[in-house]
Amino acid sequence: MSDIPLSILFSILFFLIVFSAFFSSSETGMMSLNRYRLRHMVKQGHKGAKRASKLLARTDRLIGVILIGNNFVNIAAASIATLIAQRIWADNPEMGVTIATILLTLVILIFAEVTPKTIAANHPEKISFPASFLLQPLLILLMPFVWVVNGIANFIIRLTRLDIDQNSKDLLSTEEFRTLVHEAGAVIPLRRQQMLLSILDLETVKVNDIMVPRNEISGIDLDDSIRDIEMQLRNSQHTRLPVWKGNINNIIGILHMRNAAKVLAQESFNKAELLQATREPYFVPETAQLHNQLFHFQSAQRRIAIVVDEYGEVQGIATLEDILEEIVGEFTTDISSTSQDITPQEDGSYIVDGTTTIRELNKALSFDLSVDGPKTFSGLIIEALEAIPESNVCLRIENYQIEILKVQANTIANAKIMKRHIQQSSS
């Protein structure tokens, strides 16, 4: 090769460095592709995405062909650089090789490694999709070498007992998906982010966290007089009412106000006709997970459920609207919902009804009270005091100052709460 002109040798060296940059950028670009965006583009029919997705289906083969190609061109570049050095420094070939090694290392590092990999990391699609057009046939051409190299490499990996299952898919855990939603930024509007996060929270919420407690249930007692029942039906602000006899634990049906209107329109209004208009009640345990209950409502074609404890006693009612409000927030315009359980005060505190749930309190005021214990604000205070308190008692729970305003029927009717801002002293 001593008769080959230096210009040709330099040209060959230049193209080898270009190929090295191609392999380096292809590796980084392929590995930096957003797999979820890639799958979406494949569904849209993007040809480059299809080629890249096919190559990424066997990552070991893709890396194998890239590294084989990259190492081949780098070794070839080193050989050509050595020939050039020996021709230029013919009087001192050892010094020439040393200089060539240093210069080639810098050139490859800058132009074939750092620069192309940086570009590929920042613009993976622009690099990967065109590169896949060359990598695909190159993989077919070098398949015997790739098969041998990967076979040896996989054998060594198996000796380390590491999982090399190529069929495993990239899956996100709940917390990883939550982080992904938070980092979506302007891509997903804030309102939609909150909805997605609320859906994820359904897995940790139980029916008793969102139910209407039994002391707040409005219903029809068949032991009442027919006149009282009629007045209650005409003035009810609810769409569906539970019907019981004597005791709320003896619920015998659910009455839809549409059916109640038909009964009221008849000349002879009686309890028997009212009972015929009811639908069989639907009972669910208080420990049922909210996301499962949503599907149970769908399968049973129900919109309201009677929540019972392990002894079969009624604890409250849960509706489909309650679950949907956990996802999208308050949307009801029901007159019965206009009463405010949380009243802001001028000093920054809030007067809260004792029956208000901790979840509702946290959501409304952006508090972080623990939801692992008692479900209501009254229960939280009683648990902290370990006794039924008197009014005007003050206490501190976590970072919140609480003053009991009224005690009624062995429970906290209402109390004032204010968040204390603790200043950390600088050392």
Distances 22 to 6, 29, 106, 338, 408 between C-alpha atoms, Å: 24, 10, 17, 66, 78
Handedness of CA 233, 239, 245, 247 (dihedral sign): negative
- d(CA 120, CA 116) in angstroms, rounded, equals 6
CATH topology of domain 342-419: 3.30.465
Angle at 299 between CA 294 and CA 305, to 5 degrees: 55
Query: Which band of pLDDT confidence, cut at 50, 70 and 90, is reported for residue 337?
Result: very low
What integer pLDDT is reported at residue 335 of this predicted model?
38
What integer pLDDT is reported at residue 186 of this predicted model?
64
pTM of the shown model = 0.58
Neighbours of 197 (CB within 10 A): 14
Q: What is the pLDDT of residues 137-184, one digit of tens each?
A: 998 888 888 888 888 887 887 887 766 554 445 566 777 777 777 777
Task: Say if 206-332 and 342-419 have the same CATH topology.
Answer: no
Give the percent of the chain with pLDDT over 70: 92
Angle at 394 between CA 388 and CA 400, to 5 degrees: 110
- d(CA 286, CA 348) in angstroms, rounded, equals 35
- Is 227 buried (19+), middle (13-18) or exposed (0-12) by CB count in 10 A? exposed
Residues 109/15, Cβ–Cβ less than 8 Å: no
Q: List beta partners, residue 397.
A: 400
Distances 386 to 373, 416, 418 between C-alpha atoms, Å: 13, 19, 21
Neighbours of 296 (CB within 10 A): 15
- d(CA 211, CA 38) in angstroms, rounded, equals 42
DSSP 213-231: EGGG---EETTS-HHHHHH
Could you tell me which residues come within 8 angstroms of residue 81 by beta carbon, excluding any fewer than 6 positions away?
Answer: 13, 100, 101, 103, 104
Both structure tokens of 36: 């979820």
What integer pLDDT is reported at residue 308 of this predicted model?
93
What integer pLDDT is reported at residue 271 of this predicted model?
85
What integer pLDDT is reported at residue 281 of this predicted model?
93
- d(CA 337, CA 334) in angstroms, rounded, equals 5
Q: What is the pLDDT of residues 61-83, one digit of tens each?
A: 888 899 999 999 999 999 998 88
Does the pLDDT value for residue 338 go beyond 80? no
Q: Is 117 helix (H, G, I), strand (E, B) or coil?
A: helix
Domain limits, the chain: 6-159, 206-332, 342-419
DSSP 256-325: EHHHHHHHHHSSS--HHHHHHT-B---EEETT-BHHHHHHHHHHHT-SEEEEE-TTS-EEEEEEHHHHHH
| Parallel/antiparallel/unpaired status of strands 342-344 and 240-245 | unpaired
Angle at 77 between CA 89 and CA 14, to 5 degrees: 90
Domain 206-332 listed as CATH 3.10.580.10: yes
- d(CA 327, CA 359) in angstroms, rounded, equals 13
